[in-house]
Structure 1
Amino acid sequence: MEDIGVSESDAVFDSLNLNPQLFFNEVLNTVDDFLLQTFDFFFQEASTKLNAEATQRSQNLKQGVDCIRQKVQSVLDQKLAVWEKFCLYHCFSLPEGFHMPNTDESRGNDIDLGAITDPDVDGQLDSLRRKLAEVEKESEMLNQEIYDLERQSSFNARCINEAVQLFEQNSYPELFQEIMATASELRMQMGKLNTNMIEETAKMKAKRIDSSEMDISALNGAKGLSNTKLEDLQEFVNLMKSM
């Protein structure tokens, strides 16, 4: 059974003081307001955590939040446009031949039991039930998408908080000062070690000279080096070279 035109459906809804388009507008405006409030809150929290108020970082953060909001808004607009079209042509479209009963005539007449059991009416009711089930399923999908977006927003907020905490815990100026102090202390220790090595070397040379068993008195002018042993001369030469 074909549906009647949109204008005829509007006439029926007007007679019942109903306006489907007003319903759509209220739903869309509610979603837009919720989205704007969500991202405004996200921007304020991020600015506070990052101390980015009235700075260039605040402008950069604002641009980033707006970019994310526009992407989310684009996806929601597409989904809501499909939802609005479905509701308009399936939920708010009346079947062909549907008409409102005359109020004056129905007041004086008894209920027609045969009309209640009319197969056509039963078929229309079944069709409406199926359409209502489809609308409920679509609404559940939209609610799930909104829930996923809220979870993603919460995850992004946690990531920002963790980044701020890491930035606050790791103070780079203090770390640089600590490195400089450690380097200065290392240079002092190396200088002391070098001085100790020089002093120790000098002591060892003096000790070797003092412990030499070479008889220097053997080198007299009369006999020359005739009484000096070759091993003693070689040891003396090596000792002089090492000094």
Structure 2
Amino acid sequence: MEGSESEAVFESLNLSPRLFINETLNTVDDLLDDAFHFYNQEASNLFKTDGTDRSRFLSEGIAYIRNMIQSDLDTRLGMWEKYCLHHVFAVPKGFSLPQTESPTETFTCQDLLFDPDLDAQLDILRNRLTMVGKESAGLNHELQALERQSASNMFQDMLSTMSELHEKMEKLRTRKVENLECIRAKRIKDPNRDLLASNYRKGLPNATVEDIQEFMADLKRM
């Protein structure tokens, strides 16, 4: 990766893939040293080998195990290092970083971001938006009040109409009853009705056709 296009790109960003890889490898070595140092102490305390001939045998056995682990670990870390250099930290061919802004352009952008006139216009628009929101809320309240008032008026009109209709129906029923009573009273006082009843008691052959028709009409009205 040294001298490659990828290295130049990372260096322009103040990044060093090689430094990252070396620090990672050193960290793994430090962890391995600490782990086997702790393992050696615990084994010595467990088997009580301090000051005896077994201490040398224990150290040789631990060193043998460490060499086996270290060899396998170095192989895997070497593969990891190659993968990082050829894939993780490799940029595509033709890749280029965007051009940095010149001081003049940066100053212009800052001026746009901190333009007092623009801020004042934005404040005016915010205030107008707030006023419109308040007016809209007020109109909504008025509309709801009108809807409630309209519903109340409609209900009152319905009650009034029902009351008037009920009153008219009562008057009509009373008038009908009065008319029937009047008709019955007239029938009672009608002399022809007595004649028809007398003829009926004497038998139908003694009644005229007009008397029979009038009698049938009276029966239908009763």
State the structure with more CA Rg: 2
When normalised by structure 2's length, the TM-score is 0.45
When normalised by structure 1's length, the TM-score is 0.41
Higher helix share: 2
Higher relative contact order (CA 8 A, sep 6+): 1
